[in-house]
A and B are shown apart, each in its own frame.
Chain A
Amino acid sequence: MTRRTFQVLLALAESPLHGYGIRQRVAETSDGEVRLGSGTLYEVIHRLTDDGWIEEVPAPVDDTGSGGPRRRFYALTNEGRGALRIELARMERDVLHARTLDLLPEG
C-alpha cells in the first residue's frame, strides 16, 4: 500500500468526504507532507473504488457546495476498513520490531 493510498483510506475512516475534502484532510493529518495533486487524487479514488475499498455515498444534507455540480462523497467500505486495519497492524508490528532494535524511543 502506498503512502497516498494509506492516507486517503485514513482520511475517509473519520467520515465521508468529497475529493477536495480528502485532499485537505490528507494534508492536515500528514502535516502537509502528503500533498495530493488533483490528478493523483482521482487516480487513487478511482483505483480504490475499482477495488471496492471505498464507494460513493449520497452527499450529507449539510453540504452546501459552491453552487457547481453536486460533489460526490466517498466513504470507506467494510473491505476498505479491513484493508486499512491490516495495513495498520502491519505498521504496528513493524514499529514494535523497530523498538526492540532500539531504533525508536519508547513511546
Chain B
Amino acid sequence: MHLLLHLLLKLYPRAYRERYGDEIAAVVREQQECDGGGPLFWCGVAWDHVAAARRVRRRMRTRGWGETMIEDIRGAVRSLMRSRRFAFFAALTLGLGIGATASVLTVADRVLLRPLPWDGAERMVELGTYIMGGEDLAVLSGPLLLDFIERLDVAEAVVGASRGRPVRTDLAEPFQLTATQVSPGYFPFFEGEAVAGRLLDDADHRAGAPPVVVLSHGYWTEAFGADPAAIGRSLELDGTAHTIVGVLDPAFTAPRPTFWAEDDLVRPLGLYQRELSEGSFSIQAVARLRPDVGPEQLQAELEGIGRERYVDRGGFVTGFGSAPFRDTVLGPSVGTNLGRVLGAVALLLLVGCVNVASLLLTRASQRRDEFRTRASLGATRGRLLSQLLWESAALAILGSGVGAAMAWGGVEFFRSHAPAGVPRIAEITFDPRMLIATVVLSVSTVLVFGAAPAWAASRGAGGPTTRSTHGRGQTRARSALVGLETALAAALVIWSGLLARDLVEMSNEDPGFRGDGLVAGQLDLRGRTGGASAESRRDFVRRLSESAGAIPGVQRVAIATELPYSGNALVSSMTPLDAPEVAEGTFIPVVAVDGDYFEAFGLDFVQGRPFDTERDDDRMLAVVNEAFVRQYWPDLDPLAGAIKSGGEDVDDEGVYEVVGVVADVRTVPGRPAPPKMYADYANEAFVRFHIVLQTDGPVAPVVQSLRSAVSELDAGLPLNDVTTLDAVETRALAEPTFYASIFASFGLVALLLALVGIYGTTAYATASRGREIGIRVALGEHRARIVSAIVRRTLVVVGVGALAGGSIAMLGSVYAADALRLVDPRDPLTYGAVSLLVVATATVAAWIPARRLSAVDPNTALRGDDR
C-alpha cells in the first residue's frame, strides 16, 4: 500500500480503520488507475482523508493517541496562559534555582570534584622538604630534584619547575619576561602539546645543549604577531642567545605552582647544564607514583634519598615529605570557600523547590473544582493526569530556558570575577550535564509537588458536591512550606548579610597605612652591576632616590622590600632577646626600608623614632610594630630591647637595636597584623625591592619619569609591577568581595523567592475567603481590619520561619566563622536587620493580595463562587 495512504489511515480511529481500511485502499487504487496517480491526485486524497477523519473522529468520540496528546498539550498551555502570573513566578523560581545551581555546580565540579585532567592524576603527589623544623612542605633544591628524578623508585616519573624572570636584551629597551623553567619529562607528564614547532625534548636538557625556549601562545602573538617564521629564530635572554623551538598550546594547563599560564616562555630548568646550589630552594616537584605505592613506602624512600644529601651535612633541611597534588592545586581556602558557596546554592535550590511546591500546591487546590467538574463530565483520571504532566513539562521547559540562560551567565560571571587563586578558573566552560542534572531535579519537584496534589484532588471526582472544601491539612501544608521557605531564605540572607557587613568593615577598617597618592614599582638588581654587592646596592638606591625625589610632583620617596596587603614576602630567623618563651630562631617577617618609608605610608610612631636617613655608623637598627611588642616583650621597654639575627647558638650574626615602635599595618585585610620587624636598608640591602613615590598629581607622568630615572642609572634594568597602593588595596579585597557578592546575590534571590511564595500563598488563602470577606464588608466591618487580620495571620507563619532561619544561620555560622574576619558570626545587628527585612518583605507580600481582595465589591464577592 502506498505509504501516504497508510499514514492517512492512521488518522482514523482503529476500529474504523479495521472496518474500512481495505475498502478505502481498494477505492483509492481504482481511482488511481482511473485518474493517474500524480502528486496532485495524492494531495487531493490527503486533503479528503484529513477532513473525513476529523468528521469520523468527532462522530466516534475517540481520538488517536497523537491527537489526545496534542489536545492535552494545548490544554496545558491554555491553562498556563490563563494563569500567566503563576506561570511567570513558577518559571522564574525554577529558572533561578536551576541557573544558580547549575553554574555553581559547573564551577565546583571543575575546580573541586573532577580529578586533575592528566593520566594518573590521582597518583600524583607533591614532593617537598621541611625547613628548620617547620611543618609546611617547602620547595626543593636542584640537586635534590635530580636525586629524586634519578633514584625515586616508587615513582613512575618526577618532574619539577621553578619560575624565572629573564630579561630580554635584544630589544631597544630591555624587557623583563617571566619564564616557567622545567625539568626533563615535564610536558609528557602534564600532556602538553605544541601548536607550532616542538616542545622541549630530552636533548635540550643535556649538558652542553644549545639554549632553547618555547614561547607561550600569548607572547608569540604579542612579540611575533603569531608568525610561524618565528620558530627557529633566536632571542637574547640575559645576554645569551636562545633559539625558539616552538609555541605552547594555549590550552595547556599545568597548575600553579608548577606552571604559570601567564608566563611568556618555557625553558629548561638546567638541571644538567650548570652547577646547582644545594642551598638554593626554588623548585616545585611533582611525582606520579606507581600504582599500589603506600604513603609509608614513599616516605621511607624520600627520607632515604634526602637524608644522604642533607641531614648528614647540616641542619637547614630537617625532613622530607609529600602531599596529594590535588590539595596543592586547590589550596585550602578555595576548597572551603567553594564548599560554602555550594552549601549556599543547595539551600537556594531548596528554597526554589519549596517555593515551586507551595505555588503548585496552592494552584492544585484552586483547581480542585476544575478537576471535579471535568471528572464528572466524564474525563478519565488518565486524561487529567496527562494534562497535569504536560503542564509540568511546559513549566519545566520555561524554567529550564530561564535556567540555562542564568547558568551560562553565572559561569561567565565566575570566570570573569573570580579572585586570583581560584585554580583552573580559566578552563571552566559551561557544562550542559550540570544543567541536565538540575533540570531533572526541578522537574521532579514540579511533578511531585504539582501533579501529585492535583491528582489527589481529582480523586474525589464525581462526588456529590463540586463545591470546594479546603481542608485544614492543605492549609497547614502550605503554611509549613511558607515557614520553611522563609526560614531557609532568612538563613541565606543572614549569611550574606554577615559577609557583606564583614566586607564593609574590612574596607572601612584602618589598614594602618595611608595609600593615597602612592605608586610603587619593583626593581630586581640580581645580575646587574648595581646589585653586585651590598655597597653597590646601597649606592644604587641612594642615587635612584635622589633622582626620583627630583621628579616634579613627587613629595616623598621610599624603598621597601614588601608592600602592605601583599602577604609576607620575606621572613627571617630572628630571636627577640629577653623574650619569655620564644623559640630560638623564630621566623619573623622583616621589611627592609629606606627613605621616607614611615612618613610616606603615614605610619605613626608609638615610641622612639624612624631610622636616620644619613648615618655613618654601622650599627644595626630595627623598628618593630606593636604586635611584635605585644607578643615578645609584653612587659619590657621595647626601646631597650634587642633582636638577634638567627638562632641563639649562632654567633656573630649581629644584634639589632630597637629604635622605635610603629603602629601595626595589616598584611591581609581584616586579619590581625603579625609581629613585624623593619630593618634599615642600610643594614639589609636586599637585591629586590619596591620604590614607592608619593605624589599629589597625576600618576602616569611620574611613573614615566621614574622609568627614565631608572634607565639613566642602569640602561638594562626594567621597572616591574608598577601599581598604585589603592589598586593593591582593591586587589586585596577582591576575594572577600567576590564571595560576598555571590552570597549577596543568593540572599537576594532567596528573598525574592520567599516573597513570591508568601504572595502566592496569601493571595490564594485570601481569595478562598472571598465570600466570608464579602459578608464581613457588607456587615460594615472596616476593610483595614480585614486586611490587617489577613496580614497578621501570614506574619505569624513568617515570624516563626524567621526565628527558625536565625537558628539555622546560628548553627551554620559555626562552619562559616573563619570566613568572617571582623564581624562576629552572631552579630546581633545583622540578625536583627535581616529579621526585620524578612518580616517587612512578608508584610508587603501579604498586604498586596489582601488589600486587593478587600477592595472587591461585596456583591460581587457574594454572588460569585468562593473564588
B59 touching A39 by the CB < 8 A rule?
no
Q: Closest approach, in angstroms, between the C-beta of A97 and any C-beta of chain B?
A: 31
In B35-65, the 8 Å CB interface with A consists of: 44-45, 47-53, 55-56, 59
A38 touching B31 by the CB < 8 A rule?
yes
Provide the bound-state CA to CA distance between A66 and B22, in Å.
13
Is B456 an interface residue when CB atoms closer than 8 A count as contact? no
Residues of B within 8 A of A71 (CB): 23, 26
Residues of B within 8 A of A38 (CB): 24, 27-28, 31, 45, 48-49
Residues of A within 8 A of B29 (CB): 68
A39 touching B45 by the CB < 8 A rule?
yes
Is B30 an interface residue when CB atoms closer than 8 A count as contact? yes
Is A40 an interface residue when CB atoms closer than 8 A count as contact? yes
Known contacts A19-B23, A20-B26: A39-B16 contact under CB 8 Å: no
From A39, A45, A69, contact of B49 by CB (8 A): A39
Known contacts A37-B44, A37-B49: A46-B20 contact under CB 8 Å: yes
Is A41 an interface residue when CB atoms closer than 8 A count as contact? yes
Output the residue of A43, A50, A68 with the most chain B CB within 10 A. A43
A47 touching B8 by the CB < 8 A rule?
no
Other CB < 8 Å A-B pairs besides A39-B48, A42-B24, A71-B26, 7 of them?
A: A20-B27, A37-B47, A39-B53, A43-B56, A46-B20, A50-B59, A72-B23
Provide the bound-state CA to CA distance between A46 and B861, in Å.
51
Residues of A within 8 A of B53 (CB): 39, 43
Residue of A at shortest CB range from B56? A43
Residues of A within 8 A of B8 (CB): 39
Known contacts A40-B48, A43-B55: A19-B27 contact under CB 8 Å: yes
From A39, A47, A50, A68, contact of B24 by CB (8 A): A39
1/0 per residue, CB under 8 A from A, across B1-41: the answer is: 00000001000000010011011101111110000000000
Provide the bound-state CA to CA distance between A66 and B27, in Å.
11
Residue of A at shortest CB range from B46? A39
If over half of A's interface residues share one DSSP class (helix, strand or loop), that class is named, otherwise mixed; here it is helix
Is A23 an interface residue when CB atoms closer than 8 A count as contact? yes
A39 touching B51 by the CB < 8 A rule?
yes
Output the residue of B16, B44, B45, B48 with the most chain A CB within 10 A. B48
22 CB contacts below 8 A, A to B, read A18-B23, A19-B23, A19-B24, A20-B31, A37-B45, A37-B48, A37-B49, A37-B52, A38-B28, A38-B31, A39-B45, A40-B48, A42-B20, A43-B56, A46-B16, A46-B56, A46-B59, A47-B59, A66-B26, A66-B30, A69-B23, A72-B23
* Chain B residues proximal to chain A, CB less than 8 Å: 8, 16, 19-20, 22-24, 26-31, 44-45, 47-53, 55-56, 59
Provide the bound-state CA to CA distance between A12 and B760, in Å.
65
In A20-50, the 8 Å CB interface with B consists of: 20, 23, 37-43, 45-47, 50
From A23, A40, A50, A69, contact of B52 by CB (8 A): A40
Output the residue of A18, A39, A42 with the most chain B CB within 10 A. A39
Output the residue of B19, B20, B27, B59 with the most chain A CB within 10 A. B27
Residues of B within 8 A of A23 (CB): 27, 31
Residue of B at shortest CB range from A23? B27
Provide the bound-state CA to CA distance between A41 and B660, in Å.
112
Residues of B within 8 A of A41 (CB): 24, 27
A20 touching B59 by the CB < 8 A rule?
no
Provide the bound-state CA to CA distance between A46 and B59, in Å.
10
Q: Closest approach, in angstroms, between the C-beta of A4 and any C-beta of chain B?
A: 11
1/0 per residue, CB under 8 A from B, across A51-75: the answer is: 0000000000000001011011000
Residues of B within 8 A of A46 (CB): 16, 19-20, 56, 59
The interface on chain A, measured as residues whose beta carbon lies within 8 A of the other chain's beta carbons, has a size of 20
Residues of A within 8 A of B19 (CB): 46
Provide the bound-state CA to CA distance between A30 and B22, in Å.
27
Q: Closest approach, in angstroms, between the C-beta of A94 and any C-beta of chain B?
A: 26
Q: Closest approach, in angstroms, between the C-beta of A46 and any C-beta of chain B?
A: 6
Residues of A within 8 A of B48 (CB): 37-40
Residues of B within 8 A of A68 (CB): 22, 26, 29
Residue of A at shortest CB range from B11? A39
Provide the bound-state CA to CA distance between A47 and B55, in Å.
10
Residue of B at shortest CB range from A42? B20
B26 touching A69 by the CB < 8 A rule?
yes
Residues of A within 8 A of B26 (CB): 19-20, 66, 68-69, 71
Q: Closest approach, in angstroms, between the C-beta of B16 and any C-beta of chain A?
A: 7
Q: Closest approach, in angstroms, between the C-beta of A77 and any C-beta of chain B?
A: 18
From B22, B30, B52, contact of A39 by CB (8 A): B52
Residues of B within 8 A of A39 (CB): 8, 24, 45, 48-53
Residues of A within 8 A of B59 (CB): 46-47, 50
Residues of A within 8 A of B51 (CB): 39-40
Q: Closest approach, in angstroms, between the C-beta of A51 and any C-beta of chain B?
A: 10
Residues of B within 8 A of A18 (CB): 23
Q: Closest approach, in angstroms, between the C-beta of A59 and any C-beta of chain B?
A: 12
Provide the bound-state CA to CA distance between A40 and B45, in Å.
10
Provide the bound-state CA to CA distance between A20 and B35, in Å.
13
Q: Closest approach, in angstroms, between the C-beta of A8 and any C-beta of chain B?
A: 13
Residues of A within 8 A of B45 (CB): 37-39
Q: Closest approach, in angstroms, between the C-beta of A54 and any C-beta of chain B?
A: 13
Q: Closest approach, in angstroms, between the C-beta of B408 and any C-beta of chain A?
A: 49
A69 touching B22 by the CB < 8 A rule?
yes
Residues of B within 8 A of A45 (CB): 20
Provide the bound-state CA to CA distance between A40 and B26, in Å.
14
Residues of B within 8 A of A40 (CB): 48, 51-52
Provide the bound-state CA to CA distance between A85 and B415, in Å.
85
Provide the bound-state CA to CA distance between A32 and B443, in Å.
58
Output the residue of A37, A46, A66, A72 with the most chain B CB within 10 A. A37
A43 touching B23 by the CB < 8 A rule?
no
Residues of A within 8 A of B47 (CB): 37
Q: Closest approach, in angstroms, between the C-beta of A58 and any C-beta of chain B?
A: 15
Q: Closest approach, in angstroms, between the C-beta of B766 and any C-beta of chain A?
A: 52
Provide the bound-state CA to CA distance between A20 and B22, in Å.
12
Residues of A within 8 A of B27 (CB): 19-20, 23, 38, 41-42
Provide the bound-state CA to CA distance between A40 and B52, in Å.
5
